[in-house]
Amino acid sequence: MRALLTIAVLLGLLGASAGVALWAWQEIGEVEMSGHGVAALALGAVVTFALGAGLMALVFFSNRRGFDDRAHRPDDRPARPSQPDARTSDQPGRPER
């Protein structure tokens, strides 16, 4: 029942947004666009689509290779020592003798 309600709400939102888009398209009326404007619009759409597709490909690649696994395990964080380690020197960047 909950899934059916969710689908109905989403379809309602889709219909409302399509209605607003149709209304806005009709209100604009007859708009002249030069060849440069059409080319810029097409290029912008293609670049935006390519960027989205490339980022989604990186997400899937990262997930399949396991690069995201470490981010989901809270026990991988290194423990903070309460006292300085005796093997380290007092001065950073200088080895102990």
Q: What is the pLDDT of residues 5-38, one digit of tens each?
A: 999 999 999 999 999 999 998 898 888 889 999 9
**Contact between 96 and 89 (Cβ < 8 Å):** yes
> What pLDDT is attached to residue 14?
97
% of residues, the chain, pLDDT over 70: 71
> What pLDDT is attached to residue 22?
92
- Output 76 or 63, whichever has higher pLDDT: 63
- pTM, whole model, 2 decimals? 0.47
**Contact between 96 and 87 (Cβ < 8 Å):** yes
Cα separation, 48 vs 41, in Å, equals 11
> What pLDDT is attached to residue 91?
57
Amino acid (one-letter) located at 80: R
Cα separation, 80 vs 2, in Å, equals 46
84 half-sphere exposure, CB direction, 13 A CA radius? 7
